[in-house]
Amino acid sequence: MKASQFFISTLKEAPADAEVVSHRLMMRAGMIKKLGAGIYTYMPMGLRVIQKVERIVREEMNRAGAVELTMPIIQPAELWQETGRFDKMGPELLRIRDRHERDFVVQPTSEEVVTDIARQELRSYKQLPKNFYQIQTKFRDERRPRFGLMRGREFIMKDAYSFDRDAESAQRSYQIMAQAYRRIFDRFGLRYRAVAADSGAIGGDLSEEFQVIAATGEDAIVYCPTSDYAANLEKAEALPPAGPRPAPAQPMAKTPTPGKSTCAQVAELLGVPLARTVKSIVLATDEVNERDEIVATRIWLLLLRGDHDMNEVKVGKLPGLELGFRFATEAEIVEHFGCRPGYLGPVGTRKAVTVVADREVAVMADWICGANEVDFHLTGVNWGRDLPEPDLVADIRNVVAGDPSPDGKGVLAIERGIEVGHVFYLGTKYSRAMNATFLDEDGKPKPFEMGCYGIGITRLPAAAIEQNHDERGIIWPDAIAPFTVVICPIGMDRSPTVREAAERLHDELAALGVDVMLDDRGERPGAMFADWELIGVPHRVTLGERGLKDGLVEYQHRRDTAATPVPLADIVGWLRERITG
């Protein structure tokens, strides 16, 4: 490819609404162009990256035995009504009507459509297992689209759906996809982790997220540096503390804490470690009748160590809270505790509440909590002596760095990541809802066991940039760079020698299958180098008349701080070694 035949449009400054690095650099490098909120045109340079991502994904999905199809972007509402998602999904699901007043949706995902295909086409166990996938445009009507392709409204996604005859074979299909995903992300050339993820209301343990490691990532990844354990923060288990609860050593006392309403403030005032304090979180669950009217409310008091945070996903799995909960109102708190938030505790509540203690709190002695009176806390509080044992003890906190690893092979560390893929065992959630069955070997109908597997095609380049950039611009891994090599001839428009050498090198590399760009625009060296450093092409060869007189060109990898002189006769081999190596 020659630059004069391509389209290159770079900017010195990013638009004011570009908040994160990937958004700024993709706009400046001319890879995307904003059309509307969360909606972007993929410009030629950016489209080349997306196509390379798609090619790797497609090759590995085909290798794993998945079969490609394409499902419509606009889907009839009837299918979504069968599963209940037409009504249950919020405004993120874009609903439209045609001229005949029939309801449709703009797909954010395609479980309903692919399940409809399966119930029509897969009639016998002899046709299973089967895995259908597509690389298709999706739309999610985000309330606040931001961060460019990281959280847009329209995006491209690879979504796959497996169909099996029983749970055992479904798990085999899941493992095939999990391994395929590892091959895909290995080929991308990015640092990533496959982490155990929470599987939500469906239950089960077969769920993994693929996270690209980046300091700007929205997700916290928990891992053990000395083992293979990795999980997202919602999933990671905090192990029970070792050893029994110590015996009480202090009397309980009501202690003035004027104006100190947080655990940190109280610990500082009393000169004790924050881990000696206990924080109170008040939740509520509502019982409703058939008219959706609240007929009863239950108040829950969750107790965590002052230096720990509540994990809402774990809390949402506790008996009594698994159907949903909310934070209690101030009126409900005052009614049950006789005090506004900031000084709450489990001792001497006005009305009965259900007390849930985190595992750490359950083995604490002589702890500090609110006294249910403004400007006062209780010190020296002990279970059994000063208040009853908790109604429930459970793991309800986020793990922290230094906690023991659940696999017993070290301690946990935490880093940031960007989710770009997810493999998930669905079970019969959709097949039962849509009466999608096949005839098993015994001649009886059975619902399909399903799995779903997604990769954010357009999110992945943004995640790659968040991981790989510097002050000059993007640094693409070879596998997904818009071009692998750029040839930068200095004075090509004035020197036949430079033009001939540059074109000969371009043609030789192209003949070898190297994705090469020859910048024949006649730009000044500084402007030309700045463009390609911003765009992030990993390998650059510079040719000039002076160097060619000595039979030399200059090679520089995008991460190098200086160029390396290389004989012109050796540069093709030099490049092949670095590209393949």
Residue 505's closest CA among 566, 572, 574, 580?
572
Question: Cβ contacts of residue 236 below 8 Å, gap of 6+?
Answer: 196, 222, 398, 399, 406, 412
Give me the pLDDT at residue 487, please.
96
Q: Is 328 strand, coil or helix?
A: coil
Give me the pLDDT at residue 527, please.
93
Question: Cβ contacts of residue 186 below 8 Å, gap of 6+?
Answer: none
- C-alpha 174/C-alpha 65 separation (Å) is 12
- As a residue count, the chain comes to 581
Q: Is 547 strand, coil or helix?
A: helix
All structural domains of the chain, each given as residue ranges with its CATH number in brackets, are: 3-237+414-465 (3.30.930.10), 253-394 (3.90.960.10), 483-580 (3.40.50.800)
Residue with tokens 């818009």: 482
255 bridge partner residues: 377
Q: Evaluate whether 370 touches 345 at the Cβ level (below 8 Å).
A: yes
Give me the pLDDT at residue 200, please.
54
Q: Evaluate whether 204 touches 425 at the Cβ level (below 8 Å).
A: yes
Give me the pLDDT at residue 473, please.
95
Q: Is the torsion defined by CA of 450, 455, 456, 457 positive or negative?
A: negative
- C-alpha 101/C-alpha 96 separation (Å) is 9
What's the distance, Cα to Cα, between the start and end of the chain in Å?
23
Give me the pLDDT at residue 216, please.
83
- C-alpha 364/C-alpha 349 separation (Å) is 20
Q: How many CB atoms are closer than 10 A to CB 524?
A: 10
Q: Is 181 strand, coil or helix?
A: helix
- C-alpha 162/C-alpha 452 separation (Å) is 6
Helices (H), 142-200: 167-188
Give me the pLDDT at residue 151, please.
85
Q: What is the pTM of this model?
A: 0.84
Q: Is 340 strand, coil or helix?
A: coil
Token pair listed for 77: 């509402």
Q: What is the DSSP letter of 306?
A: T
**Residue 151: half-sphere exposure toward Cβ, Cα within 13 Å:** 13
pLDDT tens digits in sequence order for the chain, 581 residues long: 899 999 999 998 888 888 889 999 999 999 999 999 999 999 999 999 999 999 999 999 999 999 999 999 999 999 999 999 999 988 999 999 999 999 999 999 999 999 999 999 999 999 999 999 999 999 999 888 888 888 899 999 999 999 999 999 999 999 999 999 999 999 999 999 999 886 554 444 688 999 999 988 888 899 999 998 988 888 899 999 988 999 999 999 999 999 999 999 999 999 999 999 999 999 999 998 888 788 899 999 999 999 999 999 999 999 999 989 999 999 999 999 999 899 999 999 999 999 999 999 999 999 999 999 999 999 999 999 999 999 999 999 999 999 999 989 999 999 999 999 999 999 999 999 999 999 999 999 999 999 999 999 999 999 999 999 999 999 999 999 999 999 999 988 889 999 999 999 999 999 999 999 999 998 899 999 999 999 999 999 999 999 999 999 999 999 999 999 999 999 999 999 888 76
Q: Evaluate whether 537 touches 516 at the Cβ level (below 8 Å).
A: no
One-letter amino acid for residue 189 of the chain:
G
Token pair listed for 558: 């995008």
Give me the pLDDT at residue 329, please.
95
